[in-house]
Structure 1
């Protein structure tokens, strides 16, 4: 029972119903928020108005973002690597939500830029750290015509008795080298700016690319982009997340030392799902930031916009809808933080936790930004106001880093398998 002598208004922090936060966490939050407000939001707005080619040109504001991100020290890999799992579970979502509140595309770009370097550092291999630890990276998994098959490496969701489609990008082992040929899809995040990539692709180890069950052999490998045979396609024009450059990559018999392989035949599947688990977890807190930004814009607007004889906040229906948005943002944050706590806790990491949060938060983010846009009325549809961009960015989340329906299928299969194992069912 709580005993109160008076009933004050609740105290809300930057992220609403904040509980206990240490002085260090509050300081990190403030620094990340200021960086998001002063650097990321203005640059994200500029990049949203550029063509895809302009967004990666030499005079693009994206280079200012990279410079200021580096100067800020917020994404110091050595400092993050030195954190305990408990610290990562608490501090990473604080930083990422503030960043995404500023701009989601740049947040995702900041993360994917470091994927290859984080992977290299994580191996503890001095050669890989020296080669990749300082390079801008991208995450290569998606291929033309294969779509969500890459999410189903274990082939639990394919039609029984079928084979997965042969990919366009295939590696083969040739002595002490891995030879890569073909192209990625146009959805490789960070590709137009990357100097290397963390690649997961089908691989022929000498016995073909197919497994007995009709699935495909894979390999995980770090690939530098300064090798003969590598080239890029045009950056992708798209609906949302326009501050996250994406594009095709081409490989014409690109030869990579086998020492750059970070996950061979048996380890490629768990390695890929480790990356996907982190990516989905990151998406959940990023899209919490989008939903929060939309809610805060709406909160300001309803206290300024006059309709029906006064500011529209005075209408009961507006207050009820505003509270519904606030509640949904809090639910997003709670789900995202739960995924971080699970993945960095004793039972994680696992895709089930991340996919649960990613699918819920991205869908709820669309609901919140749509409602916020509705509150802006006709103004919400114009590029003069921020909701039009936020809605486009939110909509992309239902597909980015795993299409939600396929992730839900995977999640349902996992839950069934857990149940069957528990009760000895086949």
Structure 2
């Protein structure tokens, strides 16, 4: 077939022309993903949870090297919003193409800065910049319902019950007591925490407070690292707070502004997580495409079988569609007066569902080889499955998004 029927595509497929800065960011993060994240991700995936965070683990070197990528949110704060959005989108996809768990670990390091900027607390953003971070919101008795600060999804006649972590203001301090669940991303490696919890106001517990908490304070302790099926490069674990005292200046939101920050936080976090799974889906597709040209069945490379081409095409279109939606949502949120949370949840659900479908189809194309650790597919499928639950399980996020479509004035 003539080469003119094979138009060359860049790293991220049907991408509009990149600026010089975008090309530089894409090339540097892709190289880092290929040379650092892929080999480290494979190695870490085969370690126990304790070994993965041990002092001699390669995880620490990866997190340290990631600082050299220059992805500083405070440095980008004065950039044009769309330009900043595109740079972060390009970088996140490339990192996740390398390893989605480690890309998640790098992303969550920036969450305390990200949420401080969303809250307008520049002092806390500067304080957190350069420190390893984590985000603590879900609790042992309250999983994804902690994302529902307005209780719009609460069952009729039901109640979410008493929270596991509560903070109160005492003079010039915020005092924190309780526990966050084992799903705190970055909990074991973090130096600072973006904590979202309930507030105790004159004995009345209500949503909520958001606080930047240094994790070396008296009263802070950590549980064991979570041993899990997928995204093993992203360490997660419990955080405990026993009369932890934080200066009131560390407060990002109190009860009067908590719901808005929680809305803005989820609107920002969901698309960033979606980007990671676009990267994973692309990696799975590219592995399958390469393998289809190498593997022979029936005397020819399997790419010459019509059914294989058909399946590869549908993988290609799903990756492109997911990327397009995520980028569209991020650009809208970057330029609109208020972000569209239902758009953000649509992006996260679409990208993670796409990653799972593409990884599953890619593994099937590898046949028995796909089930072995000699090939990357079984890991990619485990990682993709985790995405359907990470950052809010897709079912709850869909209910949250659906609630935002309801307009009682039209009834």
TMscore range, shorter length? over 0.9
1:184 aligns with 2:174: no
Q: Which residue of 1 aligns with 2:237?
A: 247
Contact 1:115/1:139 (8 A) holds in 2? yes
Of 98, 107, 116, 1:102 maps to 98
Of 13, 16, 21, 1:16 maps to 13
Of 364, 385, 405, 2:354 maps to 364
1:272 aligns with 2:269: no
Instruction: Give the TM-score, by structure 1 length.
Output: 0.92
Contact 1:116/1:197 (8 A) holds in 2? yes
1:327 aligns with 2:317: yes
Measured after TM superposition, the shift of residue 110 of structure 1 is 1.0
Contact 2:147/2:262 (8 A) holds in 1? no
Q: Which residue of 1 aligns with 2:59?
A: 62
SS in 2 for 1:303: helix
**Matched residues in 2 for 1:406 and 1:123: separation?**
25
Contact 1:218/1:265 (8 A) holds in 2? yes
Contact 1:113/1:194 (8 A) holds in 2? yes
Contact 1:173/1:206 (8 A) holds in 2? no
**Matched residues in 2 for 1:327 and 1:350: separation?**
25
SS in 1 for 2:266: helix
Of 281, 285, 293, 1:295 maps to 285
Of 194, 203, 209, 2:199 maps to 203
Measured after TM superposition, the shift of residue 127 of structure 1 is 5.2
Instruction: Give the TM-score, by structure 2 length.
Output: 0.95
Of 147, 153, 165, 1:151 maps to 147
Of 27, 32, 39, 1:30 maps to 27
Measured after TM superposition, the shift of residue 119 of structure 1 is 3.7
**Matched residues in 1 for 2:95 and 2:129: separation?**
23
Give per-residue Cα distances to partners, 1:69-100, cap 9 Å, x unaligned: 12232x12343223210202322111111111
Q: Which residue of 2 aligns with 1:350?
A: 340
SS in 2 for 1:247: strand
**Matched residues in 2 for 1:413 and 1:333: separation?**
25
1:340 aligns with 2:340: no
**Matched residues in 1 for 2:220 and 2:4: separation?**
66
Measured after TM superposition, the shift of residue 27 of structure 1 is 2.4
Measured after TM superposition, the shift of residue 120 of structure 1 is 4.0
**Matched residues in 2 for 1:14 and 1:127: separation?**
37
What is the correspondence of 1:106-145 to structure 2 with a 5 Å cutoff?
A: 106-120=102-116, 128-129=124-125, 131-145=127-141
Contact 2:115/2:265 (8 A) holds in 1? no
**Matched residues in 2 for 1:108 and 1:20: separation?**
27
Contact 1:118/1:133 (8 A) holds in 2? no
1:395 aligns with 2:353: no
- TM-aligned CA distance change 1:356 to 1:130, over 3 Å: closer
- TM-aligned CA distance change 1:130 to 1:86, over 3 Å: closer
Measured after TM superposition, the shift of residue 123 of structure 1 is 5.8
**Matched residues in 1 for 2:121 and 2:312: separation?**
51
Give per-residue Cα distances to partners, 1:118-149, cap 9 Å, x unaligned: 44466665753564334211101010021121
Measured after TM superposition, the shift of residue 371 of structure 1 is 0.1
Contact 1:121/1:133 (8 A) holds in 2? no
Show structure 1 runs of 5+ residues with no match.
1-5, 210-215
Contact 1:144/1:167 (8 A) holds in 2? no
- TM-aligned CA distance change 1:286 to 1:7, over 3 Å: same
Q: Which range moves more in the overlay, 338-347 or 277-286?
A: 338-347
**Matched residues in 2 for 1:332 and 1:130: separation?**
33
Q: Which residue of 2 aligns with 1:212?
A: none
SS in 1 for 2:404: helix
